[in-house]
Structure 1
């Protein structure tokens, strides 16, 4: 799929390599979140060579996607540094050292970023990676960041909607002005334009919006782990609202918008160790993890972003074991 960087494409974003590798109705794939480092590792999370090495190993091991968080400031009270490097710069570097794996943002905090900058950065990464970007966006939750940027955290939902609208306008129109509370773009345009008609937009968390809003504006949703009954109901509600959002707007009533979730794991040495709770996930052996992921697939989850930072084993062991014993059950969908 090719198009001019100065012109809006009519290509379907669901046909882009990143989306095709990661999402398909009735299937489940796996991703990993940066930094690829565990509690057992001695190397620094900022060691770029080590991170690229692990990214290549994950790609070769059949993981569908790799994700970088958007954490503008170091806030010690949150317990980790998070993403050391700017996500746009970091993922562009990773893109240059990989060839197939999808590259996701999990997620760009729209209220604290200028929407025109986000549009330009996202479209640039989309093109430079060959259509591998999955653009996750969120409303943010760190009070220190809102104060630092002189923003009212309580208004982040409204600001998210406005910035999303401006960003989308900039990516999907040519030389058409727009005025909003933060500025006025007139007789100017944002380039490059995306490879397709849009960049796959993955709503992340609640975004301080209704599920209906997320279903109507996004190409997919990344949410948090819940117990099976609650997650089954959430998936069903998502599918229902996606269908409603298409009524009268699209002749294809079968448009697929994936449902994804995150899951923190501490991979146990014993492959048969049963799950025991940790924050936003559990400690578990790889055989039990395969069973759990299969159950998630059966209730309609299409993708799981695995966080491995809580693991007590070195990252190389964890990624290798997942690639050998777990990923083959849930492989990437395109190579």
Structure 2
């Protein structure tokens, strides 16, 4: 494991050195990730989480590139979605011990609800103990009802996100920094936040727009994963991202729910918040998306009416040979 005090020659080198980032993202490449839990439960709001670590090991062994964990602070029965139930940063520590290669990411931490000092220590610790497999995805959340439960004004979320993100980056990348913020305190300097990430920075991905201008995301963050635009719109969406994300490579990813049919050639179609498809048709879509410039697809198998073992078997047979994890 790299030393907690190791940093690259330049902070901007960190994504290129980071094993998790390198497993997921590269120019002109496409990889497949899965959104947790690795369980199908189309008619329930809360998964059972049975044999969840065994499923994660299986995904690691067959070559899935990454596992993505959502941040759902409160379960709303009307919304009917508890995600993977376990708090994501705590759960990643268990997944890091149960797997060896697969990248582990958040999709995403609701940043306006998090205290930046604590978050910086948690993320850097996970990046250290996972051997550089941690990717931190940040969002502003999609549930307005949660904001009053934290005594936070929903309309302040965009500014709060930016301030929390900048301070999080300060804590993880600078030694004993001085800072002065509106919402998160101040320091004259001299007090450090440890540990530091193993390569100077844990790659940070925007999950959705997080209430921000896309140019801000392009300048501040290391990539973006969004709900998939309609297929004809993908080339322009990627081109718009490349315009604002600077000269270096920053990946563009898409995400959605997966309804994987037993018929491997079931035609690929968009459905609400995701895709209905057979495994061979999914691979064909991924090829077209790669040609449009997409670098990663993150799929949530929740709504598939088949056991997760069958889903992983279809992906192993028909998708992963064409879109393996990157070295």
Give the TM-score normalised by the residue count of structure 1: 0.91
Offset, 1:104 = 0.5
Q: Does the 8 A contact of 2:41 with 2:47 survive in 1?
A: no
User: How many residues are aligned here?
Assistant: 321
Kindly provide the CA deviation profile for residues 237-288 of structure 1, in whole angstroms up to 9, marking residues without a partner as x.
1111123xxxxxxxxx4x2111111022111111111134422222211111
Q: Does the 8 A contact of 2:6 with 2:200 survive in 1?
A: no
Structure 1 stretches of at least 4 aligned residues deviating more than 6 Å after TM superposition: none
Q: Does the 8 A contact of 2:264 with 2:280 survive in 1?
A: yes
Q: Does the 8 A contact of 1:61 with 1:324 survive in 2?
A: no
Kindly provide the CA deviation profile for residues 288-316 of structure 1, in whole angstroms up to 9, marking residues without a partner as x.
11111111000000000011001000111
Offset, 1:235 = 0.2
- Do the aligned partners of residues 41 and 100 (structure 1) sit closer, same or farther apart at CA in structure 2, a change above 3 Å counting? farther
Q: Does the 8 A contact of 1:9 with 1:194 survive in 2?
A: no
Aligned to 1:111: 112
Q: Select 2:196's aligned residue among 180, 193, 196.
A: 193
Offset, 1:210 = 1.0
Q: Select 1:310's aligned residue among 292, 303, 310.
A: 303
Q: Does the 8 A contact of 2:42 with 2:303 survive in 1?
A: no
Is the counterpart of residue 150 in structure 1 residue 151 in structure 2?
Answer: yes
1:1-335 matches, within 5 Å, as 2-3=2-3, 5-6=4-5, 9-10=8-9, 12-14=13-15, 15-39=17-41, 45-47=47-49, 50-182=51-183, 183-186=185-188, 187-243=190-246, 253=247, 255-334=248-327
- Do the aligned partners of residues 290 and 7 (structure 1) sit closer, same or farther apart at CA in structure 2, a change above 3 Å counting? closer
Greater shift, 106-115 or 7-16, is seen at: 7-16
Give the TM-score normalised by the residue count of structure 2: 0.94
Structure 1, unmatched stretches of 5+, are: 244-252
Secondary structure of the structure 2 residue equivalent to 1:84: coil
Q: Does the 8 A contact of 1:58 with 1:323 survive in 2?
A: no
Aligned CA RMSD, in angstroms, stands at 1.8
Q: Does the 8 A contact of 2:14 with 2:199 survive in 1?
A: yes
Q: Does the 8 A contact of 1:66 with 1:101 survive in 2?
A: yes
Partners of 2:296 and 2:192 lie apart in 1 by 35
Partners of 1:295 and 1:198 lie apart in 2 by 32
Secondary structure of the structure 2 residue equivalent to 1:309: helix
